[in-house]
Structure formats: structure tokens, C-alpha cells
Structure 1
Amino acid sequence: MKKQRFVFLIGSLKKGGAERNLSRVASALSARGHAVHLILFEKKIEYPLDAGVQIIDLALSQYKNKLVKLFMIYWRVTSTVWSIRPRYALSFTRLGGQFLASTLYPRVITRYDAYPFFFKKRKWITSMIMFNLPNVRKVICPSSELRRHVRKYYVRKSKLHLLYNPVPDVASSTLDTPVATSRPYFVVVGRLHPQKRIEVILEAFAGSVARASYDVMILGDGYDEARLRKRAEELGLQDRVIFKGFLADPYPMMRHARALLSASSKEGFPNVLVESLFLEVPVLAADCLTGPSEIIVDGVNGYLFPVGDAATLRKQIDLLVTDEALYQTLRQQAKGSVAKFDQDLILNQWMEVLA
């Protein structure tokens, strides 16, 4: 692909799956010599970017009135995109995609960052209408399950492209950093938000045989922390559940875990499951929409359980601590099971879509 200009739009690069994936794709394009412009509503950057990426800060916090802010977003995004005239203008979030579609710039790429039908009907219908506009050339789906569910709402179905989220290059991570823990542990990684259903994990762990000799490390922060701490105390787990907060580099802690636990009620594509398997750590995950069923294969790299089913999760936790032969098999098969999510492979697929 000859050298091109690309524009990316997102609210900020705060911690989050869409933000992390955008930073990887934008950096890959910049590293290959393309001119990459990143429009931010707020200049908050928590993921690494290639030095060549040009930041355009809209500084929207200065506008207090909601209608004024919406107008300024539309006007400034539209004028910026049309002045740069990129090969493609891309957004990795639903709202960002709608703003880009509304500019009527003729080459827009949008992406689903979450399963759309969990939103209120008005919101997902709005996004379907906007993403069907002819100037939206391509719509990226992070899982085949999501693509299958939205397909019937598109007039031109060929604009839907499946692109998984890439496994990060963890070679630069300090994987050998010692982890100071007195007991072996399971790990939970993610925002402390009701969507993550972490209380299901606490309830399962409370009744498991693992409780006697294992801890649960929770890596992440969020407004649900107080409620989860209270629930842990109610279950008598205050000395077994450790809230570590957000870690900029969670991989050393993940790498030494017995397994990663995930109980989410919904996902766009759960990156952390792939990252855990890449680190040879088995996964026990809720079979929610969308993504886990495309990552986890029962008895190969972990197990799935029905959303909200603490009893089944408890049995799976017990299995992983009582059957050492099975556990070692899961570990040995984990990394190979996520080869299709390799970062270089996915980024090359992005280059093909953007050509």
C-alpha cells in the first residue's frame, strides 16, 4: 500500500478495549510511514502511540452547554476531516462512528465496540441507520457472532468485515517481574462495573475448595468497587479477595495466576481472555454475547459457563485446582489456541482492509 493519510476519531485514549486497539492500529500505520492524525475530544492518553501520530485535541471540556458541545463536535470533526482528506476516516466506537458518518466524508470506516442490541432500541437503530449511509464504506465487527447478528440490518452486507482484536506484543512487558503474594491466586481483570458481574465470581469462589488455599486478585478500578468489597465481606472473603486497582502492566500478575475468571454479561470482544491464553493461563468465562465462544474451547484452553451461573463456575474452579493433569494440559494448549489473534496477523488484515 502506497503512503496514505488516515484520520482516527475517539473520545480519548483512556484505558479501555476500543482505545487500546485504536492505538495499536494507528501506531502500526504510522510506523509503516503513513500520515496518521488522531482526533481526540479530550487529550487523555494512557496507551502508547507511535511518535509519528499527530494529535488533534478538540478540547471540548471548555464547552459546558450540551447542545453547544454537540455542535462543536460536528463542526470541528467535519472541518478537520475534510481539510485533511484522508484515504479513510475511522472510528473504533459507536458514537465516534456516528459523528464521522454525519460528516458525509466519502470514505468512512466504523467499528462496533460493543454488542449493539444491549443498548436502548433508539440507540442501536440510530447506529444502524448511520452505518448504512453510503459514505460508510466498511463496518468492522470484532467477532463473527456479532457480524452474524447485525447482518440482516445492512442493505450492503459486503461492507461488514470481521477483524478480531490483536493479541498485544507482551515481549516488552516485564513478565519476569516478581509477584509478591503469599498464596496462589486466580485473577480477574477489567473495569469494576455491573456489566462484569464480578459478584458471580465471588459467590462461586466462596463455595469452592479453592477458597482454602487460593486468593482472588482483582485488577481494575471503577465505581462498583465499594459494592464488591461489601459483597466479599458478606461472603467472608475479605482476606481472600484482593483489590489491586488498575495496573498499567497487568501481564506479570496475569502470567502467574492459576486461571483468569470472567463473568461478564456482555462484551464486544473480550481482549483479556485472549491475552490470558497468550500468557499460557487458562480461562473460565461466561458464555456471553459476544466473543467468548470464539476464544474458549471447553477442555482445550478453559471452560465456558452460562451467564450468572455461579454453581457451574464453582465446579470449574474446583476442577482446575483438584485435577493437576487436566490443568497442565490446558496450560500447554492455551497459547497455541489463540494463534489466529496474533498481532502481526491482525494488523496485516487491517492493512488489507485499508488498502
Structure 2
Amino acid sequence: MLNLANSLAQRGYRVDLVVAQAEGPYLSMVDTEVTLIDLSASRVAWALLPLRRYLREQCPDTMLSALSHANLIAIFARKLANVPTKLAISERSALPERPAGIKGRAMRFLMKQFYPEADNIICVSEGIERELRGYLAGSDEKILTIHNPVDFDLIDAQRNASVPHHWLQSRKHLIILTAGRLVKAKDFATLLKAFAMIHKSCEAKLIVMGQGPEETNLRALASKLGVSHEVDFVGFQDNPFAWMAQCDLFVLSSIREGFPNALIQAMACGARVVSTDCRTGPDEILESGRWGMLAPVGDATVLSEVMLASLSESNPPNTRSRAKDFKSDKIIDRYESVLLKAVCRKEK
């Protein structure tokens, strides 16, 4: 969303980036031409009335929301505000096969009831589009796929920077990198188990880039597996691209995804990549293994074998050429066509 907001502002549109609460490491990356609107809501659900007020006061030509909870709030806020704002919602995750608990079932019910009220339903992968077409009866004409954009200019400006990490500076070992929020859905536990198997046969190190509630459990697992000294949890990094450009292999181990940005970014940095074949995203990006090997979800043994095979490839695929299919300009053109044609007025 940040990339999209910045790109549209650079094309001359007036862009408001409306957030429930203005916090986090990405605030410094908001373009000076983008107006940041802070609704000061500690939870997305509590942003309903502030968002209604914003819509009444500003009456934007079009609004794009992302993620299921925010999408529903945007739909309800537009109804309450009673404004002619065109609304597109973006679904970025595969639908849970079995919604967990009352909240999960309630979310699925609300999505089915209210998603059709949006003017467009944008999916970040063709897999998600197929799922929603089967779930939202009668909304086929509203549902389409627009992949996430990759900012090659930013990546190229940052990927050659030095990384102040002794493993990358010494280059004594093979460096395996993974990145993402440390949550169960990313299944870093399976990656740690696969890495422990690899470490028995080759000198390798694993760098885990990201933060999240599973960090304590993952550190404990690394210790239990006997690889705590070979795994480094480096937290959030302002410039992940330099790390991606210098690793020997980037691994995505997720149980589920929508359209994984980290995988495409690593490819844009020229990294070899391996991914689990989880629902929606990786198979589509890697074109069934053409650009990087795929492994079954949750299978540490096969993942370790695939990782070793990828590291041993003498002529790995040019992942950067595939990543160019998702360059920002191409993706922003599609958003501009779908969201803004005959609706928005460019600044004079």
C-alpha cells in the first residue's frame, strides 16, 4: 500500500494514506507528496467512526483498503458516510480452510455478506481470485487480480550496500536467509528443522530477519536442535535488500501466503530462492519451479533436500528477470486503470 500510495502521488494524484494509527518503521518512507491521515484508533475496528468522519469531510473520489478487517470497516464506513466514493478492497491472504473459532467464522460470514458491496475486489494472486470467485457468488465481474508491485528503483539503490554482519563480511560459510514476521503462519519452525539437517552435511549459517511473537519459541527450538550458534535472529532491518543480495539462498517456509513480497524482493536482488508450495503465491511466482524449487508445506526433510539441491545448482535461474514482471510501473498502470479512470482528477 505504501509503494502504491507513493507511486500514485508521484504521478500527480492527490493521495491520502489513511491509517488506524500512525506508528511503525515504515512511516519514514511515506512520500512528502502523500498526506498521512492518522485516525488515532488503537484497533482497526475502532477506526469505523473516524473513517466515516474522514469520508464525509473529504469525500475522496476513490478509496482502496487492504486486509479483511480493514476491508469490512471501509465498507461499513462508506455506508454510514453515504458518500459517492468508489471503493475497491484488496484481499491479500488465502482464505482459511477451516476458520478458527467464533471470530474466524464470523469474519467469513461478514466477508460473504458484505464484500459484494465493494465496487472492485482486487486479489494479489490468481489463487486468491479463484478462491473468492468460488466463495462470493454473483460477484465475478468485480473480482480481478493485480499483483503486488516491486520497487526496482529502491531495491537497486539499496541492494549493493554493505551489511554490518560478520557472517556476511567473512564469507566463510554458506548463508541462508529468511525474512518475515515471526508468526506461526510463516512456519519458521520447519525451516529450523530443515536447516539442522543441512548443517550436518555442510558449513552453513541461517539468518532470520524479522520480529514477532514466535521469536522466543523459535530461539528455544534452535537451541533444542543444537544450532543456536548457527542461527542469528537479526530483527527488523531498514534495508533488507542488501541482505537478500548477499545471501547464498533465500527460503520462504510459509504454511499459507497471499502473494509473498519477500520472495519477489529476494528475486529482484538476484538471490537463489526456495519456497514451500503453499496455497496462493509461490507456485504462481516461481511458475511451478521454473525460477526456484518448491517443497511441500511442513515437510522439513524434503525442504532440506530442496535447499541443498538449490545450493548445488551450477547454473541457477536468473530470478531477477522473473521479478521484473512485477515492476512497479506495470502494476501501478493496472491500479490506475481500475481505480482511477474517469474518477480521479489530477492536480493541475
CA distance 1:73–1:300, change in 2 (3 Å) = closer
Q: Does 1:31 align with 2:10?
A: yes
Give the letter aligned to residue 128 of structure 2: L
Q: Does 1:140 align with 2:127?
A: no
Alpha-carbon RMSD:
1.9
Look up the SS of the partner of 2:271 in the other structure: coil
Q: Answer yes or no: is the 8 Å Cα contact 2:283–2:289 preserved in 1.
A: no
Look up the SS of the partner of 2:228 in the other structure: coil
> Which whole-Å CA distance do the structure 1 matches of 2:106 and 2:336 have between them?
33
Deviations 1:163-198 (A, max 9, x none): 000112312215231453142310010111111111
> Which whole-Å CA distance do the structure 2 matches of 1:335 and 1:227 have between them?
34
Q: Does 1:348 align with 2:333?
A: yes
The unaligned stretches of length 5 or more in structure 1 are: 1-21
Higher relative contact order (CA 8 A, sep 6+): 2
Worse-matched range after superposition: 47-56 or 194-203: 47-56
The unaligned stretches of length 5 or more in structure 2 are: 342-348
Q: What is aligned with 1:161?
A: 144
Look up the SS of the partner of 2:255 in the other structure: coil
Q: Answer yes or no: is the 8 Å Cα contact 1:210–1:318 preserved in 2.
A: no
Superposition deviation, residue 314 in structure 1: 1.1
Look up the SS of the partner of 1:222 in the other structure: coil
> Which whole-Å CA distance do the structure 2 matches of 1:29 and 1:210 have between them?
50
CA distance 1:204–1:52, change in 2 (3 Å) = same
Q: Answer yes or no: is the 8 Å Cα contact 1:112–1:141 preserved in 2.
A: yes
Q: Answer yes or no: is the 8 Å Cα contact 1:286–1:304 preserved in 2.
A: yes
Q: What is aligned with 2:58?
A: 84
Superposition deviation, residue 298 in structure 1: 5.3
> Which whole-Å CA distance do the structure 2 matches of 1:299 and 1:99 have between them?
38
Superposition deviation, residue 154 in structure 1: 3.5
Q: Answer yes or no: is the 8 Å Cα contact 1:139–1:161 preserved in 2.
A: yes
Worse-matched range after superposition: 233-242 or 72-81: 72-81
Q: Answer yes or no: is the 8 Å Cα contact 1:187–1:219 preserved in 2.
A: yes
Superposition deviation, residue 123 in structure 1: 0.8
Look up the SS of the partner of 1:33 in the other structure: coil
Q: What is aligned with 1:121?
A: 105
Residues 174-189 of structure 1: pairs in structure 2 closer than 5 A: 174-178=159-163, 180-181=166-167, 182=170, 183-189=173-179
Worse-matched range after superposition: 290-299 or 242-251: 290-299
Worse-matched range after superposition: 202-211 or 234-243: 202-211
Q: What is aligned with 1:110?
A: 89
Give the letter aligned to residue 159 of structure 1: K
Q: Answer yes or no: is the 8 Å Cα contact 1:43–1:57 preserved in 2.
A: yes
Deviations 1:102-151 (A, max 9, x none): 12244111011222335423212212221112xx1101100001101110
The size of the alignment, in residue pairs, is: 320
Residues 271-310 of structure 1: pairs in structure 2 closer than 5 A: 271-297=261-287, 300-310=290-300
Calculate percent identity across the aligned residue pairs. 25
CA distance 1:299–1:56, change in 2 (3 Å) = closer
TM-score (norm 1): 0.85
Q: Answer yes or no: is the 8 Å Cα contact 2:159–2:244 preserved in 1.
A: no
CA distance 1:162–1:262, change in 2 (3 Å) = same
Deviations 1:67-86 (A, max 9, x none): xx95x632221121132122
CA distance 1:312–1:57, change in 2 (3 Å) = same
Q: What is aligned with 1:12?
A: none
Q: Answer yes or no: is the 8 Å Cα contact 2:159–2:245 preserved in 1.
A: no
Q: What is aligned with 1:10?
A: none
Q: Answer yes or no: is the 8 Å Cα contact 2:146–2:334 preserved in 1.
A: yes
CA distance 1:312–1:125, change in 2 (3 Å) = same
> Which whole-Å CA distance do the structure 1 matches of 2:69 and 2:284 have between them?
26
Q: Runs ≥4 in structure 1, deviation > 6 angstroms?
A: none
Worse-matched range after superposition: 119-128 or 220-229: 119-128
Q: What is aligned with 2:346?
A: none
